[in-house]
Structure formats: C-alpha cells, structure tokens
C-alpha cells in the first residue's frame, strides 16, 4: 500500500512511462514483446477483416433487396416541400432584395433564374421529353413504354412561363418594379397533388405584410395551375428526364415596394401548416425593390 | 511519540499532597470553593472530550464533487462550454448541443454528489445514534460538602470520590483509596485490573499507581482524588487528538478510479488529436477541427459511470449494513475486499469479552465446561461428590453479586458487581448449582479475608446449612500453588485421601495443562473447623487469622478464560482460505493470547514457534532456522527492542503472528510495518487508544457495542455486533463488488466506441450524422444505468473466498485487457449501428454511396430540394427528421448490442449458461428501457431486427472467448483476452 500512496513526481511518471514504452529487462515494447505484438496485430487484422466482410455482406444484402424504382418507405415525405427562386437568403428567411438603379443586383437575380431554368430550355425539353401529353389528366403509366425501359415524362418548357419566361424580358422584371419569382414544388414518387385531375393543384400567393405595396399578382401558366399530366412522378430510374412543373409569379410593386409574401400550393392533399417545416406546401419570402 | 514527552513534563503524581494543594488552590479535605470552581470552569471549559473537529458540511459536499471521475467530467463540461462559445462566436446560433451537454455533465456530477453526500450523511447518523446520551454523574466535594454533579462540570483541583462501577470522570491523582482497582483496557488495552494507591510508584504517569485516568472504569474499592486534568487535556483526550494527526489515506478504489481516469483521458486525447490531424488534413478549418477535437474528447467521458459506481457501492453498503457492518465511507466497501492483513484485537472481537469457566479439575480428571455464548454446549458429569464440594467452595468463597432486577435476563448476560474471575465463577455456579444468592444465605458468612497480592488467596468462614451441625466451614480459593501448600488431603470421589507425592504430581500436571491453555487457574479447598476449638460465637479475626489455615482439604481446580466467539474459528478459517492473514494484536498475556490464537485458528494446528522448535529439537533458540517456525508470538517488551527492519522480517518469515502485551503506539507500528510490506491492512479496535491505528490502517473497523466514540470516529467501518465474523462477510462483499464493478465498467465502456464512431465517420466520410449528442446522453444516463447497476447484483462466479487478495499493483480495476477488449472487440457493435443506419437511410431513399460526402448539402439549411437516390426532393426539415430517425436506429442498435453485452458481462470466465441467465432479476429494467425507444417512429420495428445478428454474434464470440479462457488457462488467449 505504502508504495501506492507515494506521490509520484512528474519525472517519475515520465520515467515509468518510458519503461512502459520500452522495457529492456523483459524486452517488451509497450507491455508486449515484439513477437506478441505480431500475434495480437494479426489477431486484430483477422478480426476486423471478418467484421468488415460481415458488414459488407450486410450492406450488399441490403442493396440487393431494395427496389430500384421506389423507396421502401416514404413516411418522411408525406407532403411535398415548396421553394421559390431566386433563392437568396437573408439572415434566416428567403429575401429577394434588389436595386432597380443598380443593374448588377437585377442581373444577379436574373442569372439565378436563368441558371434555374436551364433544364427547361425549350429545345432541350422538346428533344428529351418529346411526348405529347394529354393536359388536364394524371399521366398514369403502368408499363415502361418509353425507350430504354423507361416511362414518358411530359415536357415543361421555359416558354410556358409566359411573361416570366425571360424571353421577352431577360431581366425577369428585376430592372423595374415587376419582378418574377418561380415556385417549384418538390417531387415525390407516386405523389398525386389532388384526388381528381379536374381540380388541379395551383399556386396561390398572398401578401402577408405590406398589402398596399402590391398592386397586382400574375401567375404563369394561367391561374398558377400545375397541370396534372406532370404527376405522378415515377422516380429517377423510370423517368430520367422528368422536370417539375413550375409556376412563375409576377408582382407589381408600388409604394414602398416591399412586401412579405406567402406562396402556397393549394390542394387538400398538401398540408402547409407544419410548424416544424416552414417549407412544406408553401414558401414565405420577402420581396423588396430598392432605388 | 510526542505523547510520551508531554506526559513526562507533568509531575503531578510525584509532588507531595501539600504541593498539589497549592498548585491547584484546593484542599484534600474540603475540596475547592464553589466560586473558584466556577472560575476555573470558565477558564478551562467543560470537562468533556471535544468531538474531533468535524469536517464542515460544505467541505464534505465539495469532496463529493472532486473525485477522479468528477474532475474528468468538470473538464469535459468546461470543454463543452468553450466549444459552445466558439460556435456562437462563429455565428452558429443553432448549435445548442454543446451547451446541453455541459449542463448535463454538471448536473450528473452534482446529482451523484448529492447522492454520495446523502449516503455518507445517513451512515454518520447511524454512528451518532450510538453516542451515550446519558450524562455522567460524579461525586465531588466542594466547600467541604459532598455533591453529585454532572461530570462535565468538574474542574482541575476538584476533589472527587470514585467507587466500584463508576467511570473515572477525569485524570485523578489518588489521595486515599481502599482496594481500588481500575480497568485500564480502554486506554492501554490491558484487560488485567490495575490497583490504584496513593503512592507514586513510577516516574512515568502512565505507569504510576497514583493516577487514575479519565474514561477508565473503577471495578472495585473506593478512592478519593484530586483532578489534575480535564477534558481534552486528559491522557485519553490527547490520544484522541493524536488520531486526527494521522492523515487520511486514499482508498484503493480511489486509486483505481484515478488510474482509470488516466487511461480514459489518455485515450480521449490520443483519439481527439488523431482526428484533429485527420480533419485538418481533409481540409477543415482550424476552428472546426478544434471543435471536432473537443467533441471527441467529451464523447470519451463515460457520463453514466460515475452514477454506476456510486450506486453499486452504496448498494453493497446497504447490504453490509443488513449484516451488521456500517460503512462510513462508501469507498471503504471495496477496500475491505482487497484487504490482505487483518490486525485484530482479541478481547471482544475474537472473544466474548467475559471471563467464563472453561475447565475444572477434580477427581484427577480435567472436565470441560460449556463456554458457548448461549450455553448450547455439552456439560460435564456432575454426579461426583467432589464436584458438590467444589461447587460449594466456589459458590461461597465469592464476593460477586448480581445486580438486582435481572430475573428475566439469561444468566450469561446478567450484570454483576465484582471482578472478572468472581463474575465468571458466580455465573458458572448459578448455572450449575442454581440460585446462588439463596444458597449463600443458607450458609451464613461469619468472616472473610479478601484477596490480596501477598497471600494470594481469599477465604471465608460460614455456618453450615444444617442448624444442628455446629461446625464452621472454611472455604478458600486462590493461586493453586498457594492453596496446595496449605492442603494435606485431597478429595477424590468424595473421599478425603492424603495428599501424597502422586497426587501432587497429578495436580502439577493438571495445573500446567490448564495454564498452558492460557487459562487463569484457581485452586479451591475447604475444611470443617473443629467444633471444640471453634465453638459458635468464636471471635474470628480476619487480620490476625486466629484459625486453621493449613492442613486443608483440596477440592479441585477451576480455570477460566475469555472464550472465543463461536463464529470466530470459522471466520478465521475463511480468512485463511481467502489468503488473508489474521494477526492478533492484544494487550493480554502472551500465553493467553497464544492459547486463544490457537483456539480460533490464528495459529493453526501443528504450527510451532521458534521456542517450540528449540524445545523439541533440544537446541538453543538461536540455532533454530526462523523460517521453519510458522507461528510467532511477540510481546510488547520484545517489540520495543526490535528495529522496524526486524519487525518487517518477522512479519515476512512467520505467517502466523500474535502480538501480546502491546501498547497502542505499538499497534500503530505493527500496522505501518504491514503496510511497508505492501499489504492492505484492516485494523479492528474499540478503545480510544486504538484510534491512531484505526486511522492509519487502510480500513479501520470499530466495534459498535464496545467501541468508544473516538474509535468510531477514526474508523471507516463499524461492526454493530462486534463480531469478527462480520468482517469476513465484509471482505466477501468487498471482493464481489470489485469483480462486479469491473463488469459494470466493462459494460459501460463498451458503448463508448459505438457512440464515438458515428462522429468519426461523420467527420471523415461526411455522411449525415448517424448519432446525436442528446441520444448519447440518453443512452448513458437513462437506458444503460439500470443494466450496469444490475451487474452489481451479480453473484460471484467462483468461490471468491478461495482466491488470494488482489495485488493492488497487478490486478487493476480497469486493466489494459478490459479496455482493449471492450473498446476494440465488443465495441464492434458500431458495425451493427452502421448497418442499421445505412438500412434506414437506404429504405427511405438515400443509398449508402450517396450518403458519403453528402454532409454539406444535407446540413445546408438553405437547400430545400436535395435529391435522394430516387430523385425525390427533400426540404431541410424533412432531412432533419430523417436524421433523427437515424439517431433512433443507431440508438436501437446500440441498445440491442448492449442487451447482448449485459448478458456476456454477467461472467468473465464462466459460461453464461453455467451462471444462469436471469439470476440477477435486476437485468429486467433493461427491457423496460427498450420501450422508450419506440418513441420516435412507429415504423421502426423492422429496424430493431437489423442489429440482432450482431447481438447474437457478440454473445457467441464471448462464449468462445470464455471457453478458451477456461480451457487453456495461462495460454496466449487467456493472457490477451481475459480481463
């Protein structure tokens, strides 16, 4: 006991440690002879090789059992998220602030939209999704009738956004007080936004703050409707060229030219009041045009 | 010893009475005046021992917060705060995990601190309840008047009277006394009563006969004396304060935990640093890498372990309390288990602490009396006529009497006024003859001569029972050789035979035999006085002894001993098989000590001392090889002349040691010597004089009944029944808890790796975080506490009392094998966690390969349309909930593996099938805790089954390991894989 009670100085501790690292008396290195080190290392190598192979086997089995077209569970995606472009963030929320007198700030917004709309380029869409869909009806496909064992995707072209397509006004209204924003609803496999295709989901924007500053809200396509023919989505493998239907919204700002806006995809199947997810079924953003 | 020095400075016992009167301004006839006495009381304070300066309550509490593990957790909490500070400074206001973690760490420390403090408080209360609440009274003469006052109001110079049965109220210089004898055992450990007379017989106040000491008991006689010391200035007060000078030593378990903390801290920093470097290499910013480093260090802290250890120890303490051991300090429980030497008192601990008649010799035969505590033993043949005579002498020639009103009390337990041997004889005759008081009345006592040290006998003369028989009966008892001198005949089978050479020799043999047993032998004889010479009304003069005192008839011998407790021989045997040395340290005579030692097995049968060997081989003592002698009896006198090396040598060479006639200081020396030899020493004691040794010992064990408050204060453990056998129970429990703590710790450590690897993978491979910090805390502090505590209930794997005590330098609580096995082998249940994690991710749409490198997108709050492997788009919150699902499945996996783990940890060597699966019922809270896991998602059930094969694998693997360890002890496998 007495020996245990001794207060060891730092020097002694270091010395002890030194002896632990290399003990010349028994020829041990860190408590083991080199020979034993080899054995124990081999044991551990073998141990971990076995463990890793078991792990790999488990992952392989997992991958083998997965359905490549639809995930096994979609419980986290009961209702699709909605997002607005230009997706410029302020401190926490989306803030689409631009300066009408500063060309660069308007250009920035326009570039974001152009970049976002690239896959919707008319020529590209007609090339990849050259299929004539029946509008106004859900496009249910039970067979893989498209080439390469895929399913057809309906084309959604930039030009469908009318005044906000960027064709007429390459600045998307960011040089004046009539900016365009684009609303996109996230895609979920086999999700139908409404029960009946004659009542399609549509985007509705409301001004939460500064109603007096918004003179007019215009939707492209008409009434902000997301055509049912884009639904349901069959997944990346079945529809490699699928594009989400978009809705562009043009606001005419007056007065102080700022407003807080909520754009919601209206459908009884899409919830928008999830406290934990502010982007579920709706998106809220601030819009401000400065001089 | 500075005690001796300060005593020598005092000469109160050497000066004359007159000088004493002037010194203390008193008078040996009238005492102090009341006014002066009250002045002195004002000056010196009351005459009581100040309770040793108790540690202030807040210090006790603070101590609970400053153990090895606690410090580790404090450091971790500080690191968390720093990490939180860095995060906030960098503008990441959402990172509250670190703050929560810090708060949790601190609350764990505080809560367990409160728990430990409460435990300590409770046992302190049990001890406090023993304190004698009845104030002691003393008879004091003040202003020439006798008064009875509270003893604590006595002052120096007071004239006091003491009589048989009183406790001496202070240190007293005896002025006058008659046949006054005191029992100094609480001071010096000597059980022989010391006579006190007014003469100064020795310059050392401890040896002189004219000073009676505070707290000793006056056994008989009366005395008057002047108080020379009161309160803490008394000898006993000084010894008590000496004990507080002996520092508190660290308990073995505290050392073990420190060692363990060293390991943990070392590993944590090693891992943290490695991954810091890795993170820097991968290209993280310095601050980010720093946060990783801190997080890893903190993740290594086993938050639940502190609670586990505290709970395990207090459970054992509770179990021990039920078996009459109260543990004052939780850590002492384990200390007892590692004990390798027990220095035991004799009187009261090994023995019953009451003289009892053990043997009788009459009719030329030695008869054994019943010495058991409950009179359950065999009695001897009482039909002989000689026995009747002997019993009559023993009953009549006895001044001891029972205290009144004890009809309901069993005879051995009754209180008696009288010295030890007379008490023994009284109880013995009461048991065999019956109703002695009445018997004595029938033989009216005419005269008596009390025992004195010059003639060494006691006699009394009685009228006979039969009123017609006018002879007087003289009965006598005393030192056998003196009695024999006065006898001319001997009773054999009721016949008076002449005491010739042959009978003398028989007597000598019997006397030697009984004396050799360490027993106190008394001889008994009687004579019917000649009716003519001593007619009725004859004036017997006890001083002149004008009557026949020779030519008596020898009746027999009765020998007495303080017999060992019934349970002690077994307990000593258990200690022996458990590799624990029992060393007897007593103030008694060497022969008695040796006899008792042999009786209880401290000196085993066939063991010889150096002297025995010398006698057997007929060679001088010096020629005997000391190593041949297993046993050794050393008296205090011999010990005084020995250097500490010699003492160490003796302890090393002789496994069976008895120290007799030792002083309290020598007890301390013996303890120190044992500790020098590397033993963990338990010391038992009851007297104030034992308190320094109790304090010095690794574990001091005080006696609950006989123990003084000072001893109880100095001790770590208290035996409520004063029984040595309880110590053995304590040792067994202590060993069990060491084994079980090992299992608990192994269990607790195991999950450290599966808790850490997710973070490491998160850093290096950038997958979404598989296991969150709050989940880890939940595992540590909620679900895993119960199973790890349940391991404390595990019964012993083998007969732990057949193993040697652990060597504190070799058998560590947490050794390398345990840490490595837990971390790197059973810790592989991280594989289970990852399998389950990837399963959950993949089934929700995120393939493993996609997960790799996904972190930056996944955690980007501004990305609301991150695509999974199926092309579906996820908002940030949806991803976050998916991450929570991952936490849950990882958590479930760890839990499933931990179920396996708790099953395998039940044993370290035996197969679980040999031990029994559900022997410890407390394992079940584990399953209850599984219910909690169901909280997050109803879809989880199928993911519970993913880790099950891993759980089974762990179980099977460990069974194989145990099989190897059992089959090939000492092999490479055993060395590397047995912890």
- The residue ranges of every structural domain in chain A are 23-65, 82-290
The least confident of A54-63, B9-18, B140-149, B454-463 is: B9-18
Q: What is the pLDDT of residue B186?
A: 63
State the smallest CA–CA distance between residue A167 and chain B in angstroms.
26
Predicted model pTM: 0.76
Q: Taking residues A262-287, what's their average pLDDT?
A: 90
Q: How many CB atoms lie within 10 A of CB B184?
A: 24
Asked if residue A4 has pLDDT above 50, the reply is no
- B680 interfacial to chain A (CB closer than 8 Å): yes
Q: What is the pLDDT of residue B795?
A: 80
The least confident of A183-187, B177-181, B329-333, B612-616 is: B329-333
Q: What is the pLDDT of residue B8?
A: 44
Distances (CA, A) of B361 to B355, B428, B433, B451: 18, 15, 17, 22
Q: What is the pLDDT of residue A124?
A: 86
What lies within 8 Å, CB to CB, of A232 at 6+ separation is A138, A139, A140, A189, A190, A191, A192
Considering only residues 932 to 951 of chain B, which have any Cβ-Cβ distance to chain A shorter than 8 Å? 937, 939
- B870 interfacial to chain A (CB closer than 8 Å): yes
Give Rg (Cα) of chain B.
37
**Contact in structure between B716 and B682 (CB atoms under 8 Å):** no
The least confident of B251-260, B425-434, B833-842, B891-900 is: B251-260
Question: Which residue of chain B comes nearest to A188, CA vs CA?
Answer: B872
pLDDT tens figures, A73-116: 888 888 999 999 888 988 788 999 998 888 888 888 999 999 99
State the smallest CA–CA distance between residue A70 and chain B in angstroms.
7
Q: Taking residues B884-888, what's their average pLDDT?
A: 87
Most confident by average pLDDT, A55-59, B167-171, B558-562, B749-753: A55-59
Rounded Cα distance, B906 and A1, in Å: 30
Residue B815: which pLDDT band, with cuts at 50, 70 and 90? confident
State the smallest CA–CA distance between residue B505 and chain A in angstroms.
53
Strand-strand pairing, B581-585 and B656-660: parallel
Q: What is the pLDDT of residue A58?
A: 92
**Contact in structure between B682 and B339 (CB atoms under 8 Å):** yes
- B249 interfacial to chain A (CB closer than 8 Å): yes
Residue B212: which pLDDT band, with cuts at 50, 70 and 90? confident
Residue B933: which pLDDT band, with cuts at 50, 70 and 90? very low
- B52 interfacial to chain A (CB closer than 8 Å): no
Residue A8: which pLDDT band, with cuts at 50, 70 and 90? low
Q: CA torsion sign, B914 to B915 to B921 to B923?
A: negative
- B868 interfacial to chain A (CB closer than 8 Å): yes
The one catalytic residue in B345, B419, B686, B690 is B345
Across the interface, whether the CB atoms of A76 and B878 are under 8 A apart is answered yes
Helical packing angle, B724-750 and B568-577, nearest 10°: 40
Of A1, A80, A279, the CB nearest to B808: A1
Across the interface, whether the CB atoms of B878 and A274 are under 8 A apart is answered no
- Hunting for tokens 């103030």 — which residue is that? B587
pLDDT tens figures, B364-376: 888 888 777 777 6
Q: What is the pLDDT of residue B380?
A: 77
Most confident by average pLDDT, A29-33, B57-61, B299-303, B928-932: B57-61
**Phi, then psi, of B792 in degrees rounded to 5:** -70, -20
Q: How many CB atoms lie within 10 A of CB B378?
A: 8
Question: Which residue of chain A comes nearest to B878, CA vs CA?
Answer: A76
Q: What is the pLDDT of residue B127?
A: 55
State the smallest CA–CA distance between residue A175 and chain B in angstroms.
26
Of A2, A40, A283, the CB nearest to B976: A40
Q: Taking residues B860-877, what's their average pLDDT?
A: 91
Asked if residue B664 has pLDDT above 90, the reply is no
β-partners of residue A97 are A288
State percent of chain B over pLDDT 70: 91
Q: Which residue has the higher pLDDT, B413 or B700?
A: B700
**Secondary structure of B474-493 as H, E, C letters:** EEEEECHHHHHHCEEEEEEC
Q: What is the pLDDT of residue A3?
A: 37
Q: Taking residues B404-429, what's their average pLDDT?
A: 82
Catalytic residue at B345? Answer: yes
State the average pLDDT for chain B.
Answer: 81
Of A4, A59, A189, the CB nearest to B870: A189
Q: Taking residues B706-729, what's their average pLDDT?
A: 79
Tokens of B56: 């202030």
Across the interface, whether the CB atoms of B809 and A51 are under 8 A apart is answered no
Across the interface, whether the CB atoms of B872 and A77 are under 8 A apart is answered yes
Residue B94: which pLDDT band, with cuts at 50, 70 and 90? low
Question: Which residue of chain A comes nearest to B832, CA vs CA?
Answer: A55
Chain length of chain A = 291
Considering only residues 809 to 828 of chain B, which have any Cβ-Cβ distance to chain A shorter than 8 Å? 809, 816, 824-825, 828
The least confident of B245-254, B343-352, B509-518, B894-903 is: B245-254
Most confident by average pLDDT, B6-10, B93-97, B680-684: B680-684
Question: Which residue of chain B comes nearest to A279, CA vs CA?
Answer: B875
State the smallest CA–CA distance between residue B804 and chain A in angstroms.
16
What lies within 8 Å, CB to CB, of A59 at 6+ separation is B835, B838, B848
Q: Taking residues B580-586, what's their average pLDDT?
A: 89
Of B249, B873, B939, the CB nearest to A81: B873
Of B862, B871, B953, the CB nearest to A187: B871
What lies within 8 Å, CB to CB, of B866 at 6+ separation is B857, B858, B860, B873, B874, B879
Residue A18: which pLDDT band, with cuts at 50, 70 and 90? confident
Across the interface, whether the CB atoms of A77 and B809 are under 8 A apart is answered no
Across the interface, whether the CB atoms of B872 and A280 are under 8 A apart is answered no
Question: For residue B747, which of B105, B253, B299, B308 has the smallest C-alpha distance?
Answer: B308
Of A1, A36, A40, the CB nearest to B698: A1
Q: What is the pLDDT of residue B937?
A: 47
Q: Taking residues B145-164, what's their average pLDDT?
A: 83
β-partners of residue B553 are B489, B526
Asked if residue B378 has pLDDT above 80, the reply is no
Tokens of A123: 């020529």
- Residues in chain B with CB shorter than 8 Å from the CB of A62 are 835, 838-839, 842
Which CATH number, 3.30.450.40, 2.40.50.100, 2.60.40.1660, 3.40.50.720, labels domain A82-290?
2.60.40.1660
State the smallest CA–CA distance between residue A148 and chain B in angstroms.
17
Residue B931: which pLDDT band, with cuts at 50, 70 and 90? very low
- B844 interfacial to chain A (CB closer than 8 Å): yes
């Amino acid at each position: 006991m007495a020996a245990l009670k001794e207060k060891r100085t730092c020097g002694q501790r270091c010395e002890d440690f030194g002896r632990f690292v290399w003990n010349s008396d028994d020829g041990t290195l860190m408590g083991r002879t080199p020979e034993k080190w080899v054995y124990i290392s081999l044991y551990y190598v073998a141990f971990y090789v076995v463990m890793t192979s078991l792990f790999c086997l488990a992952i392989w089995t997992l991958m083998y059992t997965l359905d490549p077209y639809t995930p096994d569970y979609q419980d986290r995606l009961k209702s699709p998220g909605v997002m607005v472009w230009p997706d410029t963030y302020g401190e926490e929320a989306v803030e689409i602030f631009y300066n009408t007198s500063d060309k660069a700030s308007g250009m920035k917004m326009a570039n974001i939209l152009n970049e976002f709309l690239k896959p919707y380029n008319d020529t590209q869409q007609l090339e990849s999704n050259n299929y004539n869909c029946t509008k106004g009806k859900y496009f249910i496909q039970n067979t893989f009738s498209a080439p390469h064992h895929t399913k057809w995707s309906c084309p959604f072209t930039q030009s469908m956004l009318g005044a906000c397509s960027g064709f007429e006004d390459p600045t998307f209204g960011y040089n004046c007080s009539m900016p365009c924003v684009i609303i996109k609803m996230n895609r979920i496999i086999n999700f139908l936004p409404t029960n009946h295709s004659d009542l399609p989901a549509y985007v509705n924007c409301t001004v939460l703050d500064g109603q007096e500053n918004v003179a007019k809200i215009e939707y492209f396509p008409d009434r902000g409707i997301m055509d049912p023919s884009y639904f349901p989505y069959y997944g990346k493998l079945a529809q490699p060229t699928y594009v989400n239907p978009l809705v562009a919204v043009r606001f005419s700002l007056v007065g102080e030219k700022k407003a807080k806006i909520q754009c919601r995809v209206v459908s009884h199947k899409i919830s928008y009041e999830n406290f934990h997810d502010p982007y579920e079924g709706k998106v809220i953003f601030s819009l401000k045009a400065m001089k | 010893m500075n005690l001796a020095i300060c005593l020598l400075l005092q000469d109160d016992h050497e000066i004359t009475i007159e000088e004493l009167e002037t010194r203390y301004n008193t008078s040996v006839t009238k005492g102090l005046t009341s006014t002066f006495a009250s002045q002195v009381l004002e000056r010196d304070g009351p005459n009581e021992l100040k309770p040793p300066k108790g540690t202030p309550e807040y210090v006790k509490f603070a101590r609970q917060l400053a153990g090895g593990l606690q410090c580790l957790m404090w450091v971790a909490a500080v690191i968390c705060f720093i990490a939180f500070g860095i995060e906030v400074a960098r503008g990441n206001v959402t990172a509250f995990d670190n703050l929560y973690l810090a708060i949790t760490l601190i609350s764990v420390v505080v809560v367990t601190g409160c728990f430990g403090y409460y435990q300590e408080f409770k046992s302190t209360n049990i001890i406090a309840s023993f304190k004698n609440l009845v104030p002691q009274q003393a008879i004091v003469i003040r202003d020439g008047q006798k008064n009875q006052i509270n003893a604590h109001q006595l002052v120096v110079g007071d004239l006091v009277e003491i009589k048989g049965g009183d406790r001496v109220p202070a240190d007293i210089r005896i002025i006058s006394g008659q046949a006054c004898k005191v029992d100094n055992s609480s001071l010096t450990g000597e059980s022989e009563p010391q006579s006190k007379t007014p003469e100064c017989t020795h310059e050392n106040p401890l040896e002189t006969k004219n000073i009676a000491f505070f707290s000793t008991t006056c056994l008989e006689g009366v005395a008057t004396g002047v108080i020379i010391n009161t309160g803490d200035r008394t000898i006993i007060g000084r010894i008590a304060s000496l004990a507080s000078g002996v520092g508190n030593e660290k308990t073995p378990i505290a050392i073990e935990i420190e060692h363990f903390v060293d390991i943990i801290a070392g590993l944590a920093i090693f891992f943290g640093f490695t991954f810091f470097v890795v993170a820097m290499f991968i290209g993280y910013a310095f601050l980010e890498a720093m946060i990783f480093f801190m997080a890893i260090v903190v993740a290594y802290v086993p938050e639940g372990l502190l609670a586990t250890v505290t709970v395990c120890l207090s459970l054992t303490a509770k179990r021990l309390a039920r078996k009459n051991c109260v543990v004052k300090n939780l850590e002492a429980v384990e200390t007892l288990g590692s004990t390798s030497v027990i220095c035991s008192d004799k009187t009261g601990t090994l023995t019953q602490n009451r003289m009892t008649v053990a043997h009788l010799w009459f009719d030329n035969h030695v008869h054994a009396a019943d010495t058991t505590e409950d009179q359950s033993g065999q009695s001897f043949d009482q039909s002989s006529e000689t026995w009747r005579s002997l019993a009559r002498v023993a009953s009549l020639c006895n001044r001891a009497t029972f205290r009144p009103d004890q009809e309901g009390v069993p005879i051995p337990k009754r209180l008696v006024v009288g010295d030890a041997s007379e008490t023994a004889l009284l109880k013995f005759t009461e048991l065999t003859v019956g109703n002695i008081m009445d018997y004595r009345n029938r033989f009216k006592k005419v005269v008596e001569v009390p025992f004195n040290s010059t003639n060494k006998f006691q006699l009394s003369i009685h009228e006979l029972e039969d009123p017609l028989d006018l002879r007087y009966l003289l009965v006598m008892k005393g030192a056998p050789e003196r009695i024999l001198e006065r006898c001319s005949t001997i009773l054999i089978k009721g016949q008076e035979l002449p005491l010739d050479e042959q009978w003398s020799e028989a007597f000598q043999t019997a006397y030697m035999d009984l004396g050799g047993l360490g027993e106190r032998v008394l001889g008994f004889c009687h004579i019917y006085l000649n009716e003519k010479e001593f007619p009725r009304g004859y004036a017997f003069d006890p001083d002149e002894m004008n009557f026949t005192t020779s030519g008596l008839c020898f009746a027999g011998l009765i020998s007495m001993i303080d017999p060992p407790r019934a349970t002690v021989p077994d307990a000593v045997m258990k200690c022996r098989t458990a590799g624990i040395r029992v060393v007897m340290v007593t103030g008694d005579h060497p022969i008695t000590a040796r006899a008792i030692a042999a009786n209880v097995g401290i000196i085993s049968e066939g063991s010889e001392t150096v002297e025995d060997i010398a006698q057997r081989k007929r060679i001088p003592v010096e020629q005997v090889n000391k190593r041949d002698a297993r046993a050794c009896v050393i008296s205090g006198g011999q010990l005084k002349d020995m250097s500490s090396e010699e003492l160490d040598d003796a302890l090393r060479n002789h496994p069976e040691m008895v120290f007799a006639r030792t002083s309290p200081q020598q007890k301390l020396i013996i303890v120190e010597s044992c500790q020098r030899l590397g033993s963990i020493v338990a010391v038992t004691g009851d007297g104030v004089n034992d308190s320094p040794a109790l304090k010095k010992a690794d574990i001091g064990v005080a006696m609950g009944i006989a123990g003084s408050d000072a001893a109880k204060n100095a001790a770590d453990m208290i035996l409520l029944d004063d029984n040595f056998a309880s110590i053995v129970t304590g040792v067994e429990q202590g060993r069990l808890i060491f084994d079980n703590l090992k299992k608990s710790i192994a269990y607790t450590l195991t999950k450290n790796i599966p808790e850490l690897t997710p973070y490491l993978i998160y850093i290096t491979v950038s997958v979404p975080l598989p296991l969150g910090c709050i989940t880890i805390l939940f595992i540590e502090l909620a679900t895993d506490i119960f199973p790890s505590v349940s391991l404390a209930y595990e019964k012993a794997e083998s007969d732990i009392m057949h193993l040697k005590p652990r060597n504190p330098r070799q058998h560590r609580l947490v050794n390398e094998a345990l840490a490595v096995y837990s971390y790197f082998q059973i810790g592989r249940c991280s594989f289970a966690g990852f399998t389950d994690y990837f399963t959950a991710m993949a089934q929700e749409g995120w393939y493993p390969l996609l997960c790799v490198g996904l972190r930056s997108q996944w955690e980007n709050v501004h990305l609301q349309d991150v695509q999974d492997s199926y092309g579906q788009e996820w908002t940030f919150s949806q991803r976050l909930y998916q991450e929570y699902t991952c936490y849950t499945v990882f958590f479930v996996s760890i839990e499933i593996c931990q179920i396996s783990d708790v099953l395998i940890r039940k044993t370290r060597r035996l197969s679980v099938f040999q031990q029994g699966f559900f022997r410890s019922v407390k394992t079940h809270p584990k399953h209850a805790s599984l219910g909690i896991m169901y909280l997050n998602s109803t879809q989880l059930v199928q993911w519970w089954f993913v880790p099950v094969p891993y759980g089974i694998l762990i179980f099977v693997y460990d069974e194989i390991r145990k099989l190897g360890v059992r089959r090939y002890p000492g092999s490479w496998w055993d060395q590397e894989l047995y912890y």
